[in-house]
Structure 1
Amino acid sequence: MHLLKSPWKMAIGLIPPLLIYLIFSIIPILISIYYSFMSWDGFSEMQFIGFENYVEAFKDSTFWRSVKNNILVVLASVIGQISIGLTLALLLNQKLKGGKFFRTIGFLPVVISTVVISITWRMIYNSEDGMLNNFLEILQLDFLAQNWLGNPDTAMYAILITVIWQFIGLYFIIFLSALQTVPKEILEAAVLDGASELQKTFFVTIPAIKNVILVSIVLCISGSLKTFDLIYVMTNGGPAHSTEVMATYMYSETFSGLNYGYGSTISVLILVFSLILVMITTKIIRIRQD
């Protein structure tokens, strides 16, 4: 009897989280798909227009610019956050003085509000009295000083540096936790075989946490595709849409442009691109594992 009741208890226990997921994830997605086939300003009556919003999106140069910027964010995040986080984890996995202090400092940006981080970095990039331009002047490199967030040629790169910095600590902690699970016997055997520190790192330690690294890459990609608040506070997608990503463009079209149908279309395309990118990454990971 106990065995028969157990599955029912598990099923009943799953109902609340499933309802929450349904209400806050699945239903909004279905509503967005429905709106994407409509022309609606949020006030007047909806008009069914079929795939016109999708056709407009594929012809929209600003939309494709936002896609390009999103890809840049993904690449910068994977290359920057994963590689720097792994390097820091390898360094602090050694018995160093003040290790706990550096771990705390490394993880601090992750727990700070994104709005606070955005305002802080906007002040650093300030063209008049920002820390970056002042530092360049101290180094006698004042000819490099400029309006970093106001220049379309440099604004996106300034954003990417902030994005990388913000989440290094997350992957640093993940990798550090994984490194501490590597069996000491394997490392000791490598030392007995005459392996140097570099050889031990690249041929023993990193392969031992390969699965954690691959999962972190998937998390990094999925998180990067949802980038919104940091860019919205720092530049609001400007100047001249140079820092626009899909999420900020969707927001501006929906709530500033009062074009709910087109905004919903962009949100659906964000979902599609995210699924495609994550599926491709997962496929590559499976091939590598085989």
Structure 2
Amino acid sequence: MSGRSNKFSPYLFISPALLLFGFVVLVPVLMTFVFSFYDWNGIGTMKFTGFDNYIRAFQDRVYMNSYGHTLIYIVATVFVEVIAGLGLAGLITMGRKGSGLFRLAFFVPVMLPMIVVSYLWKFVYNSDFGLINILLEKIGLESWTRVWLGNPDTALYAICIVSGWVYAGFYMTIFYSGIQRISREVYESAYLDGAGEGQIFFKIKVPMIRNLVETGIMLCVLTGFQSFDLFYVMTNGGPYNSTEIVTTYLVKVVFTHMSIGYGSALAVIMTIVIAVIGLVAGRLNKKDSSVLEY
């Protein structure tokens, strides 16, 4: 009797976690997939429409363009977050005085709530009394002043800069910790061979934390699809849908237009896109690992 109870006891211990996971994750995912085949506003009668919602999604110009905006945002943030963070990590690991204060100053934006950051930068970008336009006027570059968040040509890139300002310090901290694990003997050998700080950074530091850099880029890609609050507060997809990304459009469809079925179809498509990107990235990482081992 005791042997049988011992046999089932592990399942009893993990059952609460499995039930919670099923209720919080699996059930919503399954229901979203089911709702995607219906025309439903969340209140009235559900009407089965088959694949009509998916066909409508691929004919929806705003939704298709939102993937293009997300791609631009991801590419831009790889540079202003990952590459900038890598450069900052290289600077603060040169061993100069004040590097601790420098590191803290760049990490502070990461600790601020994104809502606060969004409203702060809305004031910075304000066309009438914003810091950027005032500074440009003071240095005699009045022709460069813009309605930064109200211009379709600049709004998306303005948001990318804000994202870089926030998360560059986050990636800097990750790369800094990786560089700190490199043995001092490697640096000493490079210095004896006459290498400068630039050569050490590009030929020693970056190659030896390559896995961290690749992880940072992948993290930047996946979080790019999850971005919402920054876009919602600063532009809410405007002007003229020029900053509409997948998540902001999905929220509008579900909560503004009350189209639960269509919104569910959009969510399913987005999930498939993210899954495909993850699988491709995993394959590429495996290929790189096998080549290096060979």
Q: Please give the range of the TM-score, normalised by the shorter of the 2 chains.
A: over 0.9
Question: How many Å separate the matches in 1 of 2:245 and 2:194?
Answer: 50
Q: What pairs up with 1:6-85 in 2 under 5 angstroms?
A: 14-85=14-85
Equivalent residue for 2:262?
262
Which SS does the other structure have where 1:225 is aligned?
A: helix
Using the TM superposition, give the Cα deviation of residue 218 of structure 1 relative to its aligned residue in structure 2, in angstroms. Answer: 1.4
Equivalent residue for 2:151?
151
Using the TM superposition, give the Cα deviation of residue 287 of structure 1 relative to its aligned residue in structure 2, in angstroms. Answer: 2.4
Using the TM superposition, give the Cα deviation of residue 11 of structure 1 relative to its aligned residue in structure 2, in angstroms. Answer: 6.1
Equivalent residue for 2:91?
91
TM-score, L = length of structure 2: 0.91
Equivalent residue for 1:119?
119
Question: How many Å separate the matches in 2 of 1:136 and 1:64?
Answer: 36
Moved more, 38-47 or 274-283: 274-283
User: Per the alignment, do residues 12 and 141 of structure 1 end up closer, same or farther by CA in structure 2, a change over 3 Å counting?
Assistant: farther
Using the TM superposition, give the Cα deviation of residue 77 of structure 1 relative to its aligned residue in structure 2, in angstroms. Answer: 1.6
C-alpha distance after superposition, 1:152-198 (max 9, x if no partner): 12111111111222211111100011111111122222223333322
Equivalent residue for 1:242?
242
Q: What pairs up with 1:190-201 in 2 under 5 angstroms?
A: 190-201=190-201
User: Per the alignment, do residues 12 and 109 of structure 1 end up closer, same or farther by CA in structure 2, a change over 3 Å counting?
Assistant: farther
Root mean square deviation of aligned Cα: 2.0
User: Per the alignment, do residues 94 and 11 of structure 1 end up closer, same or farther by CA in structure 2, a change over 3 Å counting?
Assistant: farther
Instruction: Please tell me the residue identity of whatever aligns with 1:42.
Output: G
Using the TM superposition, give the Cα deviation of residue 282 of structure 1 relative to its aligned residue in structure 2, in angstroms. Answer: 2.6
CA contact (8 A) 1:124 1:132 kept: yes
Using the TM superposition, give the Cα deviation of residue 248 of structure 1 relative to its aligned residue in structure 2, in angstroms. Answer: 0.3
C-alpha distance after superposition, 1:68-118 (max 9, x if no partner): 011111111222211000000011112222222221111111111010010
5+ long unaligned stretches in structure 2:
none
CA contact (8 A) 2:94 2:197 kept: no
Q: Percent identity?
A: 35
Instruction: Please tell me the residue identity of whatever aligns with 2:159.
Output: I
Using the TM superposition, give the Cα deviation of residue 216 of structure 1 relative to its aligned residue in structure 2, in angstroms. Answer: 1.5
Equivalent residue for 1:131?
131
Which SS does the other structure have where 1:242 is aligned?
A: coil
Using the TM superposition, give the Cα deviation of residue 18 of structure 1 relative to its aligned residue in structure 2, in angstroms. Answer: 4.0
Question: How many Å separate the matches in 2 of 1:80 and 1:177?
Answer: 19
Equivalent residue for 1:222?
222
CA contact (8 A) 2:73 2:156 kept: no
CA contact (8 A) 1:124 1:130 kept: yes
Instruction: Please tell me the residue identity of whatever aligns with 1:188.
Output: E
Using the TM superposition, give the Cα deviation of residue 13 of structure 1 relative to its aligned residue in structure 2, in angstroms. Answer: 5.6
Question: How many Å separate the matches in 2 of 1:170 and 1:157?
Answer: 20
5+ long unaligned stretches in structure 1:
none
Using the TM superposition, give the Cα deviation of residue 27 of structure 1 relative to its aligned residue in structure 2, in angstroms. Answer: 2.2
CA contact (8 A) 1:221 1:278 kept: no
Question: How many Å separate the matches in 1 of 2:39 and 2:236?
Answer: 25
Instruction: Please tell me the residue identity of whatever aligns with 2:63.
Output: F
User: Per the alignment, do residues 7 and 144 of structure 1 end up closer, same or farther by CA in structure 2, a change over 3 Å counting?
Assistant: farther
**How many residues matched?**
286
